Structure 1
Amino acid sequence: GFDEYFTSRSLENNRRNLWFHEFWEDDFNCRLPHGTAPHGDPAGAPGTPVRKCTGRERIGRDSPYEQEGKVQFVIDAVLAMAHGLHSMLGEACPGGGLCAHMDPPDGRRLLTHIRRVAFNGSAGTPVSFNENGDAPGRYDIFQFQGGNGTGAYRAVGQWVQGLHLQEDAMAWGSNSSSPPPSVCSLPCGPGERKKPVKGVPCCWHCELCGGYQYRADLFTCLPCASHLRPTPNRTRCRHTPVLRSAGPPCAAVPLALATLGLMATAFVLATFVRHHETPIVKASGRELSYVLLAGIALVYAITFLMVAEPGVGVCALRRLFLGMGMSLTYAALLTKTNRIYRIFEQGKRSVTPPRFISPTSQLVITFTLSGLQLVAAATWLLVRPPHALIDYEMGRTPDPEAARGVLRCDMAEGATLACLAYALLLMLTCTVYAVKARGVPETFNEAKPIGFAMYTTCVVWLAFGPIFFGAAQSAERVRRGLWVQTATLTVSMSLSASVPLGLLYAPKVYVILLHPERNQPKRR
C-alpha cells in the first residue's frame, strides 16, 4: 500500500509537502523553475544540470525506487496509535461518535490502550507490547556462507519470542557440518583432572594423570599403591598381574640343553659302570670320574630349579645346589690337575711319589673342597630362611599396561653371584694348575684335555658377565631382562658342564665303544 501511494505522488497532488520539490529535483536530477539545483547549488552555479523538470516524471518509472527498510515500523506505529484510539473510543464513548471523555483524550489512558493492542502489522507480522511497553523482539538471523570473494549472507533463522534456527541451512566450513563449541573449556575426559585458569573461575585446562596415577576427583590425581596400576582410563586402580615363572619361549633352550646334558651324562656313567674294570676307566681314576660325573649332573639339574615357579622349597634348593654342582665339578678337576702337577714336579726331584695321591686321598680332598660350599649354603639357610616374594618394583615399566609383578626368590644378582663365587674361585685355581701342567708329558693323558676344558670354561664365563648384567639394566626387564638373566645363567652353567663332559669323557667313551681293542690290558 505504501509503495503504491508513494509512487503515485507528483508535483500536482503533493503540494502540501514543502520539501517535496527538493526531493523531486534530487531524485530526477533536474531543475524546477525558480528552484534550487540539486545538492543545494544555486541555479546557474557550476554543476547545475541543464535539463529542466517537466513535472511529468514518475517515481519508480523515471528514477529507481526502493522502500526504506524502516518504513514498516513507522506504519506499524501509526496503526498502533489508531488501534489504541479506537479501543479507547469504544470504552469512553459506548454510544459511538466523539464524546466529552475524548475531548481531549487522556494521554495516560491512551497509553494503556496502546499497550494492549494486538494486530498484524504491515509486513504481516504480529504487533504487540509487553508489560514494559516494549515491542517483542523480532530479528532475522543471517549467516555469511562461502568465501574467496563469492560469499553471501543467507537467512538461517529468526528470533520471535525465542530462537528458531534452520540448522540444515547453516554451514560451518568445508570440513565440518556441526557448529563449533561455544564454551570456555570442554569437560575433561576420563583420567584427566581440571587445572583451573588463574583469574577465570569458569575455565580450566585438562591434564592427563600420568605414570601410575589415577583421577581421585575432578581436580586431583593420586598415585596407585605399589602393587596396583591404573586402569586404561585412569579412573581407578587395579591389581598388577604377576609373572610366576619363565614362559616356554624363554625356558625352551635352557631346558633342552639341560635335558640333553643329563642324557649324555647318564650315558657316560652307564658306559663307565659297564666297563668298570677296563684299563681306560681305571686309568682315568674311577672314583674321581664318578664324582665329576655327579657334579656335572647337578649342574645340568639346576636348570630345572631356575625355571620352576618360585616357592619356599624351590628357593631353598636353589641356594643349596646353584653352586654345589659347579663346586663339586671343579673340586674334582682341581684335585686331578693338582695330582698330575705334583707327580710331575716330584718326579723331577725324586723317585719317591708325593703324598695324598691315592684314590681315597683324592676323594677326601674333593669332598673337603666342595663341602665348604655346602656348609656355607646350609648356614645361609639357617641364618636367613628362604622365601618367595612378589617384586612389583622390578616389573614397573614406564607404561603401566606393561607392568608386571615378578614372583621370585629372595635372591638378587649379588646373592646369585655369591652362590657361584666359591665355584668360580675353584675354577680359576684349576685353570692356574692347568697352565702349570701344560708341559706334562703325553703319558699323563688327562693333563692337556683338562687344560683345554678350563680355558674354554673361562671364555664361557667371561661372556656370561656382560650379558647377565646388561640384561639387568634392560628397559623391558620384566618381559625380557629377567628371563634373559635366567637363561644366560643356566645356559652358561650347562655349557661349562658340557666342556669337561665332551673333552674328558667323549674320547674315552669313543674308544670304549668303537675301539675296544685299544681298551685291553697289555700283555707282558
Structure 2
Amino acid sequence: MVPSVQYLSKAIIDVLTYFGWTYVSILASSDDTLPSVMDEFKKEASRHKICFASSTILCYKDNFIQIIKNLQSYPKAQVLVLFVNLQDLEDLLNEAHELNAFFIWVVSTPWKVPINILKKYNQSVGPIIIIQMRSYPLQRLNEHFQAKMKADSYTIMNLHREHQIPPSPKIMFAVNAAYAIAYALRDMYNATCPNVSSDCLVRNRETFMTVLTNTRFNAPFILSDVQYTVGFDRNDNGLALYDIFTIQENNGSLHFQHIGSWANKLTLNTSQILWEDNMVPKSHCSKTCGEHEMKITDQGNPCCWDCVKCDQDEVLINNLTCKKCDPGFQPNIDHNNCSELPLVYIQWGDGLAIGSVCISCLGILSTIFVVGVLVWNNNTPIVKASGREFCYILLSGVLLLYIMTFFFIAQPSVVICSLRHLGLATSFSICYSALLTKTNRITRIFTSVKKGIAQPRCINLVSQLSICLALVTCQLMGLSIWLIVDPAEVTESISLDNKYRILKCRAGDMMILFSLLYDVLLILLCTAYAFKTRKYPENFNEAKCIGFTMYTTCIIWLAFLPISYVTFNYPKVQVPTLCASVSLCAFVILGGVFVPKLYIIFYHPEKNLKSHQWWKGVSHVDSSHGTTGEVFQSH
C-alpha cells in the first residue's frame, strides 16, 4: 500500500520544475534506503534535464562544516535536495546557520517531519520546503488502543504515560492494506463462488491478485471532511499522495504552513510562500540566452552553457543551432526563420525614375520641335546645305535615344530585355553612323581639293545613304544574331551585400556594354574625322559643330561606361544614371548639330537666302550637299 519512491521523485521534480530550478545539489543519509532513493531521484531528474552540482552521501564521521563549505562553492546551485534522517537534517541546519550559508532546502521524507524540527530551523539559512507522504490519525484505532492500554498491566500504563508514544503513521497503510484484502475477497467471492465454500478462493490466487489491484475504496477511519481513495496504480503500487509544507513565522513563533499537495500532478498555493523581496530565488547553472543567441553546452553537464550570439545573416533554428540563410533569403525580424529578400527594380514612382522620364519627355518634345522647324524650312538653303536626309536620319536616332528611357524603366520582361538590347545600341549607331558618314565625306572632299584631284567617288546622296545604312545594318545584324544564339531572359540576382534581390535581364548590363563597343568605334572614327576638319575654312560651320559634338560625346562616354559598371548591383541608381547619360548624349547631338541651324532660321533669316554670299557655292554642286559647294568655292 505504500507508494513507490518513484512518486516521491516525481513530486520533487515537479516542485523544482515549477520554480524553474534546474541546477541543484543532493545530500542523502547513509542509513536505511535513502541512498537508493537518491539514485532513483537522480535518474528521473536527468530525464527532466535537471543537473547536479554535487551529490553527497552523508556518513556519521563526516565534517558537516566542510560539507556546507563545499556546497557554497557552487553559488549557482541554490537548491539543496535532501534525503536525510532527522539527525542529519538538524546538523545541516545548525552548521548552515553558523557559516551564514543560504540555500533553498527541499526536504523529502516518506513520513511526517517531527514538530521539534522547528526548534532547529532558522530563517536566515533560507526557505525550506518539505514534501512528505500524507497520513491521517485513525481516531477509532487510537481510542481502541487507549482502552486496551488501560486494561493492561500498570507497568505498561506507566510506560505509555512516561514516554507519550505517538501512533505510528504507518498504521494507516496497514489498516488500508487489511481493508483492501477484505474488499478484494468479498468482490471475488461474490463474482466467482457465491454458492460454494470459501476453498474456491485458494484455487484462484491469480484471479484474486487481479481483483485486488483493481480495488478502489474510500479510506476508513479518517476525518469526515477528507476524501482519500485507496487503490493501486498500473504497476501494482499504492496510489501516492504527498503534502507540501513550508516553515513560516507567525506572532514570533515558527509553524508548518501547508502550501500544496501532489497526487500525480502538483498543486501549489504560491501566495503562502514568503520569498525574500517577493522574488523566487534562482537555481540554474546558466542564464537564459537572449534573443538571437544559441547555447553552447558543456557535454558533461547539459544545464551549463555559454550564450553565443548568431551572426546577422543567421537564424536560430533551435536553442543549440544557428543557421545561415540560403542565398536569396534573409533572417526575419525575430531571427527565427528565413524570408525571401525583397525584390528590387526601378519603378515608375521612384523619384529618379520620374526625373529620367521628365528629361526624356523634354528631349522628345525638343526633337519633334526641331523636326517641325526643319520640315517647315525644308527647301531653304541652310536645310538643303546640311543634307536634309541625314538631318532626318540623325533626328530619328536622337528620338529613339530619348524613347529608350521608357524601356529601361519598365519592369524587366523577355520583350523589354530584347528591346533594351537591340534599341540602345541601334539608336546610337544610327546617330553616329550618320555623323561618321558626313565627316568622312567632308574629309575626302577637302583632301581631294588639296591634291587637285577630281571630285571623289561616292559622295552623292544615294552613295552616302547607302554607306550610313550599311553601318547601321552591321550593328543590327550583330545584335540580332546575338539574341538568337543567347535569347533574352529575366533573372533574379542577389546584391553584393545580400540585402535584396535584383530583377533584371540575364547578363543584360554586361551585354549592353559589349553591344556598345561598335558604337564606341563609330564615335572614335567620327571624332577623328572631326578633329581633321577642325582647321577648315571658318565659313564651313557644320564641321566645327560636329567636332564640338563629338568631343563632348567622348567626355560623356568616358564617365558613362565606368559609372554603369560600378552601379551594376544597384538598379535604382544604375538605370536612372544610364537613362540620364543616354538623354545627355542625345541633347549634345541635338544642341551641337541643330541649334546653330535654328539660330540662323530664327534670328538671322537674311543668311538663309540663296543670294547670300555664305551660300554662293551651293549652286556648284548638288543642292542637298551645299557644304560641298562651299568647300570648292573656298578653295
Q: Deviations over 1:327-356 (max 9, x none)?
A: 111111111111111111211111512222
Q: Deviations over 1:172-203 (max 9, x none)?
A: 5xxxx855643223444565433213432112
Indicate yes or no: 2:530 matched with 1:434. yes
**Alignment equivalent of 2:381, drawn from 257, 260, 279:** 279
Q: Distance in 2 between matches of 1:497 and 1:371?
A: 21
Q: Which amino acid aligns with 2:605?
A: P
**Alignment equivalent of 2:415, drawn from 287, 298, 313:** 313
Q: 1:103-502, aligned counterparts within 5 Å?
A: 105=159, 110=163, 112-113=165-166, 160=257, 178=279, 181-188=282-289, 191-246=292-347, 247-391=349-493, 393-394=494-495, 397=497, 403-472=499-568, 477=569, 481-502=570-591
CA contact (8 A) 2:118 2:254 kept: no
Structure 1 residue 298: Cα displacement: 1.3
Distance 1:161 1:459, change over 3 A: same
SS of the counterpart of 1:408? strand
Distance 1:519 1:181, change over 3 A: farther
SS of the counterpart of 1:201? strand
Distance 1:157 1:451, change over 3 A: farther
Structure 1 residue 204: Cα displacement: 2.5
SS of the counterpart of 1:221? strand
Q: Deviations over 1:353-395 (max 9, x none)?
A: 222211211111111112111011100111111121222x23x
Structure 1 residue 303: Cα displacement: 1.1
Instruction: Give the total of aligned pairs.
Output: 395
Q: Distance in 2 between matches of 1:115 and 1:498?
A: 110
SS of the counterpart of 1:439? coil
CA contact (8 A) 1:212 1:229 kept: yes
1:519 matched residue in structure 2:
608
**Alignment equivalent of 2:592, drawn from 503, 506, 520:** 503
Structure 1 residue 285: Cα displacement: 1.0
Q: Distance in 2 between matches of 1:520 and 1:74?
A: 129
Structure 1 residue 471: Cα displacement: 2.5
Structure 1 residue 238: Cα displacement: 3.0
Q: Distance in 2 between matches of 1:89 and 1:274?
A: 136
1:18 matched residue in structure 2:
none
Distance 1:450 1:156, change over 3 A: farther
Q: Distance in 1 between matches of 2:435 and 2:388?
A: 13
CA contact (8 A) 2:313 2:325 kept: yes
Q: Which amino acid aligns with 1:424?
A: V
Distance 1:417 1:216, change over 3 A: same
Q: Distance in 1 between matches of 2:253 and 2:536?
A: 108
CA contact (8 A) 2:330 2:339 kept: yes
Q: Distance in 1 between matches of 2:274 and 2:117?
A: 32
CA contact (8 A) 2:344 2:571 kept: no
Q: TM-score, normalised by structure 2?
A: 0.55
What is the aligned-residue RMSD (CA, Å)? 3.8
Structure 1 residue 222: Cα displacement: 3.4
Q: Which amino acid aligns with 2:544?
A: K
Indicate yes or no: 2:150 matched with 1:94. yes
Q: Which amino acid aligns with 1:317?
A: L
Distance 1:158 1:264, change over 3 A: farther
**Identity, % of aligned positions:** 35
1:128 matched residue in structure 2:
none
CA contact (8 A) 2:284 2:303 kept: no
Structure 1 residue 165: Cα displacement: 8.6
Q: Which amino acid aligns with 1:453?
A: T
Structure 1 residue 253: Cα displacement: 2.1
Q: Which amino acid aligns with 1:320?
A: L
Q: Work out which of the two has the higher radius of gyration on C-alpha atoms and give 1 or 2.
A: 1
CA contact (8 A) 2:246 2:259 kept: no
Q: Distance in 1 between matches of 2:590 and 2:255?
A: 97
Q: Which amino acid aligns with 2:396?
A: A
Q: Distance in 1 between matches of 2:491 and 2:423?
A: 20
Q: Distance in 2 between matches of 1:297 and 1:74?
A: 103
1:24 matched residue in structure 2:
none
CA contact (8 A) 1:245 1:407 kept: no
CA contact (8 A) 2:150 2:157 kept: no
CA contact (8 A) 2:314 2:331 kept: yes
Distance 1:158 1:197, change over 3 A: farther
Q: Distance in 2 between matches of 1:158 and 1:207?
A: 47
CA contact (8 A) 2:346 2:353 kept: no
Deviates more, 1:302-311 or 1:485-494: 485-494
CA contact (8 A) 1:280 1:519 kept: yes
Gapped regions of structure 1 (runs ≥ 5): 1-71, 78-86, 117-135, 143-154
Q: Deviations over 1:21-64 (max 9, x none)?
A: xxxxxxxxxxxxxxxxxxxxxxxxxxxxxxxxxxxxxxxxxxxx
SS of the counterpart of 1:222? strand
Q: Distance in 1 between matches of 2:467 and 2:479?
A: 19
2:77 matched residue in structure 1:
none
Gapped regions of structure 2 (runs ≥ 5): 1-114, 121-142, 170-243, 261-268, 617-635
Q: Deviations over 1:97-154 (max 9, x none)?
A: x924357x389x94744878xxxxxxxxxxxxxxxxxxx9985689xxxxxxxxxxxx
CA contact (8 A) 1:449 1:503 kept: yes
Distance 1:470 1:239, change over 3 A: closer
Q: TM-score, normalised by structure 1?
A: 0.66
